[in-house]
Structure 1
């Protein structure tokens, strides 16, 4: 079928993106699903800081590629051998998938699946297939096995989680990345518990989900830190007990004084070197720094090795919230339905294809939290 999609042909174009237009809105060909594949009509796709990283070229991708790695939609067709899904089902689309047999999958570390990671790094679906093409027949690649910046997507069943159809799909779209990454970093990676002190560096969609999850987990002090103080009001409403500007030259001293020695867990969500250093410095002896944000490929960070050893601190990576989608997404959706995880508060609005590049600029400047692209209007 022919459909409209947002295609990126070049990384590293200059800002403002409304002028350089990293995503071209054009028609592409999408082949029908084959064995083990699912066709989804995309009804919502979130704009994420990871998309900004790809546009900026911090992590290279096979080009041209249809963007988008989180979304929600309606199953329209299934290939042979697909079970558990049928046309009409509402689904969350997530970039986490598993092969079921590699060492990582055997240890239930699905986000580290070796075969899926390899296929997706080359722009293919996790089964090694390519279902996108330009109108003249040239290959167009899949982004993280999802490519939700399009009217339709072919993906694999393990990337789709069936949901209650009463949940608005523009809200459900955020559960595929922002929610599992932010909430999962708290619940799965750090295992925050009652009475813990935490700090969150970066109060975008992922960071605010970490804030909400920490409140659910019973953290007694939740400190939000960002360069944009305009986010602090919403952050306090969602669970922050204190907020600090990342530009405050006395940030580390203030947090350590407030917490009488530092936080138990510091979540660094931006992938920024300066923020990572501050996160380490505000963590108490025996505490953990949880690195959530992805920076540039190959970027190196320094740490004081003697202090790491003598103070028994931990630096931990958390990719996609260490999630198991079939377990975690239904849980987080239930928390949303119960009013405990008000993810809908993070929506900064919905946009069309025509507004996509302009809204990348807004996201870069911190003027929005989570914009939701509506590919089908």
Structure 2
């Protein structure tokens, strides 16, 4: 296991161990670094574990233009070690899940839609705070790009703000909870908050990765009567049945559109596209029934275009909408998902596999190849 340290260095910095994305497409490098103390409404969190998400990998590979070298990681879970002077509702020792950054005061945030914050890209992908400053520097004092999703949790300690450090019960398994901050919140929230899947309805998850399977579990919680999981990996489809899918479709073996229309008698009420593949989105629109709604959460490279028949959309009253972070209010939704897990109704632990931090590149490879649905990196403090 990778070890880390909490030694305080000169000028109030704390020594940390971090996985650094050094250059486009290059493996993560384990580095010793240091992090400053929290200020204002910030908290310093001792990271117990952090999920590895598809977004971390596409940023490493520069699908999104986050400046490198950078400490990525955005599904952290840990314990509050220190608080800034403006923190009101968190205290040292609290268990928290770290989620996306939002300003908290723009029109979207004020309306309960922080995932569409006016400053979302800068806060989550800017490589620093909104003023361009960094909290982490390497062991020679050179700044490392950080504040990734307002946390940069591929490190033994992370700086977050009070509004994206979500308090969770102490009796919940903290090392498991990090993915609730992004990937699992995204799939579940898309179903419950965005599409508002209703009891007795039909739902199709186009893609059975961690996000798609989280959507399957959420559709069962929401009471959908027909839940269809689509993928090309048989083991994922088998797991989908365990998690609540009533039907599975291997789109490598059969025509997805025909299969879903046959299962539902014309098309699904709701569908979620989580693969990030333009052709799957185009086909997915044709799986919808009349007045059907399609949510899009899969993230392809910037500039990717998809094609569809406008009249197919128009004449059937179909809807397509993009969804960020499950359109959730994390302070409400993440504790709800924890409670559902503790009740045995949302068994997302079946998606995960644990790795020590120094095996991050193996975890990334296993995630990309489909061997592991949701890697979680653990820290040994």
The TM-score with structure 1 as length reference comes to 0.94
Q: Deviations over 1:44-74 (max 9, x none)?
A: 1011122222223221211111011112000
Show CA shifts across 1:315-366 (max 9, x none): 111110001011111111111111111121221x211122111121111111
In structure 2, relative to structure 1, the CA distance for the partners of 1:188 and 1:340 (3 Å cut) is same
> What's the counterpart of residue 79 of structure 1?
84
**In structure 2, do the counterparts of structure 1 residues 162 and 127 end up closer, same or farther at CA, with 3 Å as the change threshold?**
farther
Instruction: Give runs of aligned pairs for residues 342-353 of structure 1, distance below 5 A.
Output: 342-347=347-352, 349-353=353-357
Q: Does 1:42 align with 2:47?
A: yes
Look up the match of 1:193: 198
* 1:276-319 residue CA offsets vs partner (Å, 9 max, x unmatched): 12211111121011101111111111111122111111011111
1:363 aligned partner? 367
How far residue 168 of structure 1 moved from its aligned partner, in angstroms, is: 0.9
Q: Distance between the aligned counterparts of 2:130 and 2:250, measured in 1?
A: 41
Which has the higher mean CA deviation after the structures are superposed, 352-361 or 317-326?
Answer: 352-361
> For residues 1-377 of structure 1, what are the structure 2 equivalents within 5 Å?
1-11=14-24, 13=25, 20-21=26-27, 23-95=28-100, 97-125=101-129, 129-142=133-146, 143-347=148-352, 349-376=353-380
> Aligned partners of 1:34, 1:153: CA distance in 2, in Å?
13
What SS does structure 2 have at the residue aligned with 1:303? Answer: coil
Deviations 1:221-246 (A, max 9, x none): 10001121111221101100111112
Let me know the Cα RMSD of the aligned residues: 1.5
Where 2:150 maps in the other structure, the secondary structure is coil
Q: Any conservation in 2 of the 1:171–1:343 contact (CA below 8 Å)?
A: no
Following superposition, the deviation at residue 5 of structure 1 comes to 0.2
Structure 2 residue ranges without an equivalent (≥5): 1-13
The answer (yes or no) to whether the contact 2:279–2:306 under 8 Å persists in 1 is no
The Cα shift of 1:114 comes to 1.3
Runs of 4+ in 1 over 6 A off after TM superposition: none
Task: Please give the secondary structure, in 2, of the residue aligned with 1:114.
Answer: coil
| CA contact 1:123–1:144 (8 Å) conserved in 2 | no
Task: Give the TM-score taking structure 2 as reference length.
Answer: 0.93
Q: CA deviation at 1:128?
A: 5.6
1:214 match: secondary structure: helix
3-state SS of paired residue (2:185): helix
Instruction: Work out the number of aligned pairs and report it.
Output: 367
User: Residues of 2 paired with 1:106 and 1:339: CA distance?
Assistant: 33
Distance 1:289 1:149 in 2: 33
Counterpart-to-counterpart distance in 1, 2:85 and 2:130 = 16
Cα pair distance change 1:242/1:282, threshold 3 Å: same
